[in-house]
Amino acid sequence: MKRIIFTLTVTLFMAGSALTSFAQHSHTTEEAKRDSVAEYKKFRKECDEKIANNKKKIAELKTKKSNESKEVKEKYNKKVADLEQKNEALNKKAAAYDANNNGWTSFKREFNHDMDEIGSALKDLTVDNKK
């Protein structure tokens, strides 16, 4: 009789533990998804601001007058056009990303790297190297 009660108690304890563990895991997974979607929305808002700032800087660069030779102006205009294309490609990439996708960390890292490259290129283009 003691053995039956002991076996029954152990079985019930194991079943209860498994159900509790499953419920906690399910709840944690839902929270993680909710957090990643919220983080994506925040990230997307920041990216939109950066892209808009880049567009403004590019527009300023396009209107900049120069007393340089025709070749130098053409190189400058080509660099500005390239930066504009890269900025637009980043905007499309951000818009196409699915927030429920599993590759969030790698997407974020790669996107930030690309955004930093454009920012650096914009700064380098506005620096006057003549002394």
| pTM for the full predicted model | 0.67
Neighbouring C-beta atoms of residue 48, cutoff 10 Å = 13
Element (H, E) at 104: helix 104-126
CB under 8 A, 24+ apart: contacts of 81-84: 83/54, 83/58, 83/118, 83/121, 83/122, 83/125, 84/55, 84/58
Per residue in 15-39, pLDDT (tens digit) is 777 667 665 555 566 666 666 778 8
Name the 3-class secondary structure at 71: helix
Per residue in 43-99, pLDDT (tens digit) is 889 999 999 999 999 998 888 877 788 888 888 889 999 999 999 999 998 888 876
Domain spans of the chain?
37-126
